[in-house]
Structures are given as C-alpha cells and as structure tokens.
A and B are shown apart, each in its own frame.
Chain A
Amino acid sequence: MDEQLIAIVGAGVMGTGISTLVVGAGLPVVLVDVDQGVLERATTAIANGLRHAQLTGALPPGRTPGELRTTLSLSDVAAADVVIEAVTELPDQKAQVLSAVSALVRPATPLISNTSGIPIDEMAAWVKNPDDLIGTHFMNPAYLISMVEVIRGPQTADRTVESVLSLLTRIGRRAVVVHDAPGFVTSRLLHPMINDAAQVVRAGTATVEDVDTLMQGCLGHPTGPLRTADLIGIDNLVDALEALYARTGDERCRPSELLLEKVRRGELGRKSGRGFYNYSEAQS
C-alpha cells in the first residue's frame, strides 16, 4: 500500500516541527508556505530536527525518512490524503487558509488545524465540509514530544477522528481526544500559568531562573514555565493569550506587560536567540 501523502501548510516553528516528525516516521510531506525564504530555512531546520530526533532516540531506528517537497503553491495540497494547517494563530489567517484548502481537497480528506486554542467550531464556519475538520495541538518540538492533544469539534465526523488517530499512531504519537473549548485543556491551564510567572518576575518576587527552578524542583515541571515560554515563542504565546482572553474574559489570560515588552523588543524566545533566557548562536 502506498504511504499517505501529508500536506502541511505553514512552515513556521510548528509546521517545521510537524514536518520533521512526519518525514522522520517515513511518510512523504508536501510543505507549503507563501515565502521561499521561509521554506529554505524550514528545509534546513527539518534536516537539523531529524538529527536532533536521532540524537535523542526519538526516531524509529533504521527508517528512511519520507520525501520532503516544499512549494509556494497552495493548490499542491489537492493530492494530499491529510492536510495539516499550521499557519500563525491569527483567526483571519487561519480563516483564509482553511477556506482555500477546503475548496482544493477531495471530499472526506481530513483537514487538521494545528492550534493552541482557537475553538474548532469557530473554524468550522470557514470550511466547506465541517465534518472533515478536526484540531490538534502538537507541542514544540513536535518530533520530540510524543503526546498530542486532539480536539473534536461538535461537527467533526467519527471517520475524521478515526483517520487522524490512525495517522498519529502511524507517526508514533499518543493522543488524547478532548472536546472543544477556548484553549482546550493544555493551553487553558498552561498559558495563564506562564502569564502569571511573567507577572511574578515583573513584580520582583523572584528572578526568571528562580521561578523556573522552583517549578521544576518543587512541582515537577520539566523545564519551568518561562523556559517553556521561550520554547513556544513569546509572540505566539501573546497571540494565544489574547485569543483566550477574548473568549473567556479571564483576567489571568490578559497578556502581562512583561510579555508585551519582550515582543516589542523582538525578544521572542529560542527562535530569536533571546527571550527570558539568552541562547547561543549554536542553536538547533
């Protein structure tokens, strides 16, 4: 049987990480973006990601990576068996891309939106077949973290859930399926906590390092919330917090002035070399 072709739209941090995961599992990927420079950087990042996955034993040993093709043409998604949309977490951009993709694919092709918190049922209004639409929330880096949150919208069909779970199993991920809500489970819990951590630092209660060290040492958090913010990307985190705040009205989701200031200064986390921490140029 031929392997499924996976189309991934958006070659930012998440699209790149998911592409690494999928080709690393041996499946072919067509990666779409509107910017050739972004696609070239993504190609390098995917090669580095595959090495990173091998280094940490996250890739199945001895498997030949799937073919990676990059393209500027969205219409290349037409041939895909599954489409994963991973564009910036801004509703207007998601709406534009999802609507265009849903007009291009064959009927009953699962259309996955990778999102950290936009409700799937909001996105359902933008697509031709809402029963084909489903959400995933991959963590960064997608090729190292084996758990994936899967979000089933009220209109998502059973067959869509089944095909996506089967794809996730094929690429070595474990999934937990949850219902639709702003921020689902992981972002609804994590994002306000990171925001609070930034407020704690801003108030002068503790340093960045001490906040992370306490959360690691006392509460078993693997990296600490502020290192996690750097990994997510502080700009993305602010977008996700705004989206959560707009939908829940929870004051804990209103982005901390410290986060906003970092975004203004271009201190976006690992991807820009500086966030709450400094990262050497020797970056993966």
Chain B
Amino acid sequence: MTPEQQTEKAPFDTDAVVDEITRFVAEQTRTTPDVDQDLFTTGIANSMFAMQLVVFLEQAYRVTVAGPDLQLSNFRTIKSMAALVGRLQAESAADSDV
C-alpha cells in the first residue's frame, strides 16, 4: 500500500504508518531502527536528514508541519513521527468537517 492510498482510508492505521516511515528511514540511511530508537542520538539521522523526514511526511500523508510542531522532538523516533502524522490528520479532518 502506498502512503497516498493510506491517507484515503479511515481510521488512521498507526502500524502501517510506522512500517512506511521505517521503510523510508531504512532506504535513506541503510539502517533499520527500532520504533522507539532516538534517530539523532544514535547517529542514524543528522540535521540534514531531519528536513528530509519533514518533507517525506508532508508529501506522503498530505499534512503540513508548521509552527510549534516544527521541532526536532517530533522527529526523534519513528513512533513520535507516526503520532505527529496521526494528530495532524485528525486535526485537518476535524477542520474539514466544520
């Protein structure tokens, strides 16, 4: 399943998103991290890769990461990224219901 198809299905499937982010990190860094592993302190990610993660999530899940969400703590682990995507999608769904 591609990320694009994923966004059209409700409810939000955290496990699938975790798998997709893991796959992206593995492709880009040739390392497959645990979902709870801090990518930055363990040397898998650096400040350049951080922005690639932001752009990947925005494009794959049609979300915008802005304002206070644009901080490294949201991108430290695969789990925290999946949680961010879940929250941003829920917020945008709530907005479009109004």
Q: Does A209 contact B (CB under 8 A)?
A: yes
Establish whether residues A284 and B55, one from each chain, have CB atoms under 8 Å apart when the complex forms: yes
Q: Does A219 contact B (CB under 8 A)?
A: no
Establish whether residues B52 and A284, one from each chain, have CB atoms under 8 Å apart when the complex forms: yes
Q: Does B50 contact A (CB under 8 A)?
A: yes
Contact of A57 among B30, B51, B72, B75 (CB under 8 A): B72
Q: Does B32 contact A (CB under 8 A)?
A: no
Q: Which of A51, A58, A144, A282 is packed against the most chain B CB atoms within 10 Å?
A: A282
A26 → B minimal CB distance (Å): 18
A191 → B minimal CB distance (Å): 20
How distant is the Cα of A54 from the Cα of B51 in the complex, in angstroms? 10
A280-B70 contact given A48-B51, A51-B51, A52-B51, CB 8 Å threshold:
no
For B52, the chain A residues whose CB sits under 8 A away are 279-280, 282-284
Establish whether residues B46 and A54, one from each chain, have CB atoms under 8 Å apart when the complex forms: no
Establish whether residues B28 and A280, one from each chain, have CB atoms under 8 Å apart when the complex forms: yes
**Residue of A with least CB distance to B66:** A51
- Contact code string A6-22 (vs B, CB < 8 Å = 1, else 0): 00000000000000000
How distant is the Cα of A48 from the Cα of B52 in the complex, in angstroms? 11
B interface, over-half SS: helix
A interface, over-half SS: loop
- Contact code string B48-75 (vs A, CB < 8 Å = 1, else 0): 1011101110010000001000111001
Counting from the closest, the 5 A-B pairs by CB-CB distance are A284-B51, A282-B56, A282-B55, A52-B51, A56-B47
How distant is the Cα of A28 from the Cα of B66 in the complex, in angstroms? 23
Binding site for B on A (CB under 8 A): 48, 51-52, 54-58, 141, 144, 209, 222-223, 231, 279-284
Establish whether residues B70 and A54, one from each chain, have CB atoms under 8 Å apart when the complex forms: yes
For B54, the chain A residues whose CB sits under 8 A away are 51-52, 55, 284
Contact of B27 among A52, A141, A280 (CB under 8 A): A280
- Sample of 10 further A-B pairs with CB below 8 A, known A52-B50, A55-B71, A141-B48: A48-B51, A51-B51, A55-B50, A56-B50, A57-B72, A280-B28, A280-B52, A281-B59, A282-B56, A284-B51
Q: Could you show 5 A-B contacts with beta carbons less than 8 Å apart?
A: A55-B54, A55-B71, A56-B50, A231-B48, A281-B59
Establish whether residues A55 and B72, one from each chain, have CB atoms under 8 Å apart when the complex forms: yes
For A283, the chain B residues whose CB sits under 8 A away are 52, 55
How distant is the Cα of A281 from the Cα of B59 in the complex, in angstroms? 10
